[in-house]
């Protein structure tokens, strides 16, 4: 899949700019604060309807305007595809795929796929479990439509159940609804557990190999999936998982009533990352954490390639500046295949190494 053309109007610091991209490699360079990350953000947003950094859509609308639009054209397989997103300060956004209006971001997700890596992805290693669950959810929503559906159902049921438990004193009449929501969490939770377990098993394989190579054969990266204790083997068939999750819910029902909280379930899952058998969250050095995060992202990209038959777009923001020369070389050698967008502050070395197109960005414009 390739994104070949992108038009941004009123998006961040881009007033009206059309870019054409190389199907292989695009080096985006310019000084600080010129719009390099904004450009990558636009591509990710176009592909999945979620920004890697904005919390609210309106943050992406240019300061001086009330609307923004993004139009991307490219090919997936042999087919020409087009996505358009319009953002408004006062209204909901509108989405169009191949000139047909669509409702949810799920329809966007079926067109282009992206793997985005930025220095902030250190949080993938350093932050709490929620950040790693988000990584799993983002990847699996792109890979498996049934995962996205299960995740929505699970979240809705969790929200309802949490509310009923919390308000039990004021609204005891709602308590009889608890088993129904618990059962919904069991059914959708089993899908989450199984998909996450499969994904992590493959992720482990690829990421460990990347990390080993990138660290010059010195460090062993390992991933472990931790979910509800009663799911003895998360790779079991769904029927087994459903039974185990149900037994778990029932065993905890009294404790949940007493604490008024949804105590355990896949919403507490953890992807444990360790380097040489030490928990990376606590012990990894800055460089180790960066290498581990990058290995996870490159592994994600390989899994996409296996499942979709095509590499997703790979977007690397400011990645090289923080790596030592050996690790830089490793990255540059390992990112071939698939379309690449990479930002940096000087172009010479990178373009010489990578070839492809150079886009020089200054104050929200591409200099020609």
Ligand X SMILES: Nc1ncnc2c1ncn2[C@@H]1O[C@H](COP(=O)(O)OP(=O)(O)OP(=O)(O)O)[C@@H](O)[C@H]1O
User: Which parts of this chain interact with Mg ion (CB under 5 A)?
Assistant: 36-37
Interface pick for ligand X out of 33, 80, 130, 177 (rule CB under 6 A): 33
What are the residues facing 29 on neighbouring strands? 344, 360
The pair of structure tokens assigned to 108 is 């966007």
Sign (positive or negative) of CA dihedral 156, 157, 159, 164: positive
Question: Least distance to Mg ion from the beta carbon of 316, Å?
Answer: 11
Q: Nearest-CB residue to Mg ion? A: 37
The pair of structure tokens assigned to 162 is 């949490």
Residue 10 partner contact from ligand X, Mg ion, none using kind-dependent CB cut-offs of 5 to 8 Å = none
Q: Are 95 and 85 in contact (CB under 8 A)?
A: yes
Q: Give the containing element (helix H, strand E) for 283.
A: helix 280-283
Q: Total number of residues binding ligand X (CB under 6 A)?
A: 16
| 52 is a site residue for ligand X (CB under 6 A) | no
| 63 is a site residue for ligand X (CB under 6 A) | yes
Scanning residues 309 to 328, which ones bind ligand X (CB under 6 A)? 318
Interface pick for ligand X out of 26, 38, 114, 227 (rule CB under 6 A): 38
What are the residues facing 367 on neighbouring strands? 360
Q: Are 26 and 341 in contact (CB under 8 A)?
A: yes
CB nearer ligand X, residue 32 or residue 277? 32
Sign (positive or negative) of CA dihedral 94, 99, 103, 108: negative
Q: Are 27 and 357 in contact (CB under 8 A)?
A: yes
Q: Are 244 and 230 in contact (CB under 8 A)?
A: yes
Residue 312 partner contact from ligand X, Mg ion, none using kind-dependent CB cut-offs of 5 to 8 Å = none
CB nearer Mg ion, residue 318 or residue 329? 318
In order of 54, 102, 133, 227, 328, the CA distances from 278 in angstroms are 33, 46, 20, 19, 25
Choose the binding region for ligand X from 35-43, 72-80, 130-138, 304-312 (rule: CB under 6 A). 35-43
| 69 is a site residue for ligand X (CB under 6 A) | no
Interface pick for ligand X out of 30, 74, 265, 266 (rule CB under 6 A): 30
CB nearer Mg ion, residue 142 or residue 343? 343
| 56 is a site residue for ligand X (CB under 6 A) | no
First to last CA, the chain: 26
CB nearer ligand X, residue 50 or residue 260? 50
| 62 is a site residue for ligand X (CB under 6 A) | yes
Interface pick for ligand X out of 35, 52, 266, 338 (rule CB under 6 A): 35
d(CA 203, CA 307): 13
Q: Are 213 and 330 in contact (CB under 8 A)?
A: yes
Question: Least distance to Mg ion from the beta carbon of 341, Å?
Answer: 12
Listing DSSP states for 101-129 in one string gives: EESSHHHHHTT--EEEE-GGGGHHHHS-H
Place of tokens 């159902």: 153
| 49 is a site residue for ligand X (CB under 6 A) | no
Question: Least distance to ligand X from the beta carbon of 82, Å?
Answer: 24
| 36 is a site residue for ligand X (CB under 6 A) | yes
| 367 is a site residue for ligand X (CB under 6 A) | no
Choose the binding region for ligand X from 53-61, 120-128, 143-151, 209-217 (rule: CB under 6 A). 53-61
| 29 is a site residue for ligand X (CB under 6 A) | no
CB nearer ligand X, residue 34 or residue 264? 34
Question: Least distance to Mg ion from the beta carbon of 320, Å?
Answer: 13
DSSP state, residue 177? G
Question: Least distance to ligand X from the beta carbon of 120, Å?
Answer: 11
| 12 is a site residue for ligand X (CB under 6 A) | yes
CB nearer ligand X, residue 60 or residue 342? 60
The pair of structure tokens assigned to 325 is 């020369």
d(CA 44, CA 352): 26
Place of tokens 């997936």: 76
> Interface with ligand X by CB under 6 A: which residues?
12-13, 30, 32-38, 59-63, 318
């Amino acid at each position: 899949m390739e994104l070949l053309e992108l038009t941004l109007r009123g998006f961040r610091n881009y007033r009206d700019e059309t870019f054409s991209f190389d199907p292989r490699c695009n080096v985006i360079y310019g000084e600080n604060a010129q719009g390099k990350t904004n450009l990558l953000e636009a591509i990710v947003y176009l592909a999945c309807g979620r920004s890697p950094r904005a919390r609210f859509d309106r943050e992406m609308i240019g300061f001086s305007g009330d609307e923004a639009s993004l139009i991307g054209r490219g090919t997936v397989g042999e087919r020409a595809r087009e996505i358009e997103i319009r953002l408004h300060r006062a209204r909901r956004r509108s989405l169009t795929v191949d000139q047909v209006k669509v409702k949810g971001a799920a329809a966007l997700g079926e067109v282009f796929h992206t793997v985005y890596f930025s220095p902030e992805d250190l949080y993938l290693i350093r932050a709490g479990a929620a950040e790693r669950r988000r990584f799993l959810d983002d990847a699996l929503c792109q890979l498996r439509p049934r995962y996205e559906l299960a995740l929505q159902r699970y979240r809705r049921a969790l929200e309802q159940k949490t509310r009923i438990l919390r308000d039990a004193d004021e609204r005891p009449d709602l308590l009889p609804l608890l088993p129904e929501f618990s059962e919904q969490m069991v059914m959708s939770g089993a899908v989450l557990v199984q998909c996450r377990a499969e994904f992590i098993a493959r992720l482990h394989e690829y990421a460990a190999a990347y990390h080993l190579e990138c660290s010059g054969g010195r460090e062993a990266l390992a991933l472990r999936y931790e979910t509800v204790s009663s799911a003895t083997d998360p790779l079991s068939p769904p029927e087994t998982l459903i039974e185990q999750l149900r037994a778990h819910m029932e065993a905890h029902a009294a404790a949940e009533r007493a604490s008024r909280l949804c105590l355990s379930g896949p919403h507490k899952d953890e992807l444990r990352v360790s380097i040489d058998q030490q928990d990376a969250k606590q012990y990894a050095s800055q460089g180790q954490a960066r290498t581990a995060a990058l290995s996870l992202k490159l592994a994600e990209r390989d899994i996409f390639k296996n499942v979709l038959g095509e590499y997703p777009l790979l977007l690397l923001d400011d990645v090289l500046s923080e790596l030592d020369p050996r690790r830089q070389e490793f990255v540059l050698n390992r990112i071939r295949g698939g379309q690449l967008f990479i930002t940096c502050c000087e172009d010479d070395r990178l373009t010489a190494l990578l070839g492809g197109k150079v886009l020089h960005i200054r104050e929200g414009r591409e200099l020609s």
